Every structure is written in C-alpha cells, then in structure tokens.
Amino acid sequence: MIRAGKRNVLGVLVDITDYEGATDAVLTAAREHRHLALTALAVHGVMSGVHDPSYAARLNSFDVVTPDGQPVRWALNLLHGVGLRDRVYGPDLTLSVLRRCAAEGLPVYLYGSTPSTLDSLRRRLGHLMPELRVAGAEPSKFRQSHPGEATEIASRIEASGARVVLVGLGCPRQEVFAHALRPLVDMPVLEVGAAFDYHAGLLAPPPPWLQRVGLEWCWRLGHEPARLWRRYLLLNPAYLTRLWAQLVHLWRATPPSGTWDRPTTHPV
C-alpha cells in the first residue's frame, strides 16, 4: 500500500498512492463516519486547474487526488522521481471501493448521470456484487443548483443510510459539486468521472495495451469525437508544454494559495 503525500503537477497537488492506498483511505473514512473528498484526475482535470485557479485551489483542498491518467503518473515520476508503477484509474478504483464496501456491509449512494444509466449500473453491479447494498441513486439534474440545494441533497444522502457517495458528473462539474457537498455529509465522497458509463455498459473500455501506453484518449476520442475533440486535441499539447516548462524551471507552477469559498451555485 502506497500513501506518500502529494506532489505538484502544474500547480495541482496529486497524491503518490496506489489502488490499495486510495481504497483504504476511503474505507477508513467510511468506518469512522468522517468526510473525505477523493477525485481521480486525468490531464483534463489538471489543465482545468491551470486555467482556473479557483478550481485548482478546490482540488488542492481535496483529501485524495489520484493520478487517473498515465500522463499524470508519468508527470509525478518525471518531476518528482516517485517511481509509481501504475496509475489509479477511476473506473478500476470504483470497483475496488465497491468490493470493499460489499465485503464490509457499507451501503453506497450513487449520484449523477441519467436515470437509465443508473438503472443499468445498479443492475450490472447487482450481478457483479450481489452483496453490495445500494442505499440510493439520484440522477443529475444537468443544471446549476438552487440556494440551499446542496443541503437538501446531503440530507437525502444521510437519510438513506449510505456510508460512501460515488459521484459521476464528469470533470470539472463533479469536483465543484463535491467541494460543496463534502462538509455536509459525514462520509467519503468519490468523484469517478466516466466510471458510471463504463460499468453500466454504455461505454466500451479501451484495450489494456492502449491504457498502458497512455493512449486511452484516442479510444475515447474515436467514440465521442464531437464532444471530446477540443479536450484532447487542444489540452494534450498544452499539458505537455506546461509539463516541460515546469521540468526545466521555466515556470514555477505555484499551487494557488488563499482560501476559496464554496461557490454559491454548483452543478447538480
């Protein structure tokens, strides 16, 4: 198990951790009725932090930020020599956490995506882990929240008896949502990106060899070109340029400082 603190990648503080370390952090918080925010961060999330210091500051307030993408793991190794052998990929981490929750009898709550996706997800998880207890599931409303809505959502989650919340709103919406929700619930909140779609059977997972060499983005771009072309064809070169600048000390990549209040509205 690896839990060796955080390191600066383009101003975003990413954890040196593995699947076991990240899963253990979540389960420990769930057992102790303690809030915790975790996100699995790929290049898109890091670059969102580069372009929006308030978003980076919120990411840097999270308890655990895992290197979801291989390029983020490579950056940790290149910049800081940490020697991580694998990334901590959101869909795989989701299964790791759910298996432990099932084994320990800890109910989970699913928040985000569409009603049909959640129905498929619950059905497939039931086949995969019959002992898993899903305390509740709530689809995204695909809009900004109303005043006080975070408290209402938190109340529904708490009333369900859940001990872990999984959020599938997509980056960067899910991190803004989780930042508002975290202090309102006494349990870990995990932002898991496309994991809902993958495990619901709506997205085909990329071949393992593509994942190993960091070309998963090609697979996703081929499946959703209209939605993702800007993310990958513009952000990937910008990420590599910033990474080189941080590596050769042309850019300090200073993490945003100061206190950032929770936004008055956030995606729901």
> What are the structure tokens assigned to 170, written together?
């997509």
Class of domain 3-193+240-247 (CATH, top level): alpha beta
Mean pLDDT, contiguous 10-residue spans, the chain (268 residues): 92 98 98 97 95 95 96 97 96 98 98 96 97 97 88 97 96 92 97 93 86 84 83 91 96 77 70
**Whether the Cβ atoms of residue 88 and residue 62 lie closer than 8 Å to each other:** no
**Single-letter amino acid code for the residue at 88:** V
- Residue 257, pLDDT score: 65
pLDDT at residue 258, as a whole number: 52
- Determine the number of helices (DSSP H) and then strands (DSSP E) in the chain: 12, 8
CA distances (Å), origin 235, targets 42, 50, 151, 238: 11, 11, 34, 5
User: Tokens 């300090």 correspond to what residue?
Assistant: 252
Amino acid 125: pLDDT: 97
Q: Where are the domains of the chain?
A: 3-193+240-247
Q: What are the φ and ψ backbone dihedral angles of 167, each rounded to 5 degrees?
A: -115, 125
pLDDT of residue 263: 57
